Amino acid sequence: MEPKMAKKGPYAVELEAGKKYHWCTCGESKNQPFCDGSHAGTEFKPIAFTPEKSGKAFLCGCKRTKNSPYCDGKHSEL
């Protein structure tokens, strides 16, 4: 099952070092790029991550990155 493409491009977000985040993998969250539990009842599960440094990051919006949760440019091939 393919995830829904939430956005054809990355989400620019400010992350805080040491804080735990949950990246949406299903594409259905209303709180993109983060999980809001919309995956319930599906095969999708969020990816938990904790950044090592604070600052701007580009999180995948197309949900097809090979470098989860970070954008790897895969959206440009879609």
Domain-by-domain residue ranges, the chain?
1-78
**pLDDT for the residue numbered 24:** 98
**pLDDT for the residue numbered 57:** 98
Burial class (CB in 10 A: 0-12, 13-18, 19+), 1: exposed
13-71 tens-digit pLDDT: 999 999 999 999 999 999 999 999 999 999 999 999 999 999 999 999 999 999 999 99
Segments of the chain assigned E as strands: 11-15, 21-23, 47-49, 55-59
**pLDDT for the residue numbered 1:** 86
Q: Which of 6, 16, 23, 26 is nearest to 53 (CA)?
A: 16
pTM attached to this predicted model: 0.94
